[in-house]
Amino acid sequence: MSSKKKEIEKPYNIKKVEALPIIKKAREPAYDQLVEDILKMDKGFYEIMFENKHPKTIYQALKKRITDKPLKLHLVKNKLYLERT
């Protein structure tokens, strides 16, 4: 038998980098604008839709923005509604 062991291929790669890559802050000013627009409207229910965004994603983003505002979110049958109270 040979004294040299066969080198096993590793499932990962390691590479040295000079610095961390720059990370852009996630911003969704459209959500803030939506809340402002709804606050200017009459009381009632409004269906909210964004292109290429799932209603649950929009729900999570809006939930944080409507605290202390006269607004309520409703997720019904995979559709999102915003209630202006």
Examine residue 8 and state whether it is found in any structural domain, yes or no.
no
Examine residue 35 and state whether it is found in any structural domain, yes or no.
no
Q: Any residues with CB less than 8 A from the CB of 36 and at least 6 apart, and which?
A: none
Examine residue 72 and state whether it is found in any structural domain, yes or no.
yes
The pTM score is: 0.65
Percent of the chain whose predicted confidence (pLDDT) is above 70: 88
Instruction: Write b or e for each residue in 6-27: b if 16 or more Cβ atoms lie within 10 A of its Cβ, otherwise e.
Output: eeeeeeeeeeeeeeeeeeeeee
- Domain hosting 48: range is 42-84
**Mind listing the pLDDT tens digit for each residue in 21-58?**
888 766 668 889 999 999 999 999 999 999 999 999 99
Q: How many domains does the chain have?
A: 1
Mean pLDDT over the full length of the chain? 88
